């Protein structure tokens, strides 16, 4: 999935730590990230 680019792999550890610091749990991290943008 495209969201795995942000959260998978050892080089993405800082990204995962920042997400966890904002309250994202491991179960949420396993699901795909979906964003809705409106302009």
pLDDT at 13 (0 to 100): 86
Q: What is the mean pLDDT of each run of 10 residues along the chain (39 residues)?
A: 74 86 90 87
Six token digits for residue 38: 């409106």
Alpha helices by DSSP H, listed for the chain, are: 4-7, 13-21, 26-30
pLDDT at 23: 93
Global confidence as pTM: 0.60
Task: Look up residue 24 and give its two tokens.
Answer: 């994202």
């Amino acid at each position: 999935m495209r969201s795995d680019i942000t959260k998978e792999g050892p080089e993405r550890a800082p990204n995962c730590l920042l997400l966890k610091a904002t309250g994202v749990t491991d179960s949420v991290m396993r699901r795909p990230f979906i964003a809705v943008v409106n302009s």
